[in-house]
Amino acid sequence: MRIDHVVLTVGSIETTCDFYSKALGLEVVTFDGDRRSIQIGEQKLNLHEAGHEFEPKSRRPTPGSGDICLVTDEPLQQVLDRLARVGVPIELGPLKRTGAIGELRSIYVRDPDGNLVEIANQL
């Protein structure tokens, strides 16, 4: 099995797309006419705007309830430099963490809804 996509409920799809593209360098994709997602390698984050979610949906879709980890090959210092340029504060890190397949060097930031986003390099 593998994860294909995860859904984030957000306050504003435009604000979320702006953050993930500018701060994290990820691609925004439009599909099924006007739906939006954030492409992350072979997976994606589908976006549901609070109050306008697509069915079926989680029982309690709530902006800011997500906690995700994104592993990148980009050196963490380059990520830190880009985050500083666009004014995104570092919540925690860099520090060592344990990921699904081994150790990570991670930093933590919050997206515009307050979701915790861990950005890591595999060690």
Strand partners, 71: 120
- Asked if 91 is an active-site residue, the reply is no
Distance CA 122, CA 97 (A): 10
Distances in Å between the Cα of 59 and the Cα atoms of 3, 9, 26, 111 are 20, 12, 28, 22
Query: What is the side-by-side strand order in the sheet with 103-110?
Result: 67-71, 116-122, 103-110, 92-98
Instruction: Indicate which residues carry an active-site annotation.
Output: 118
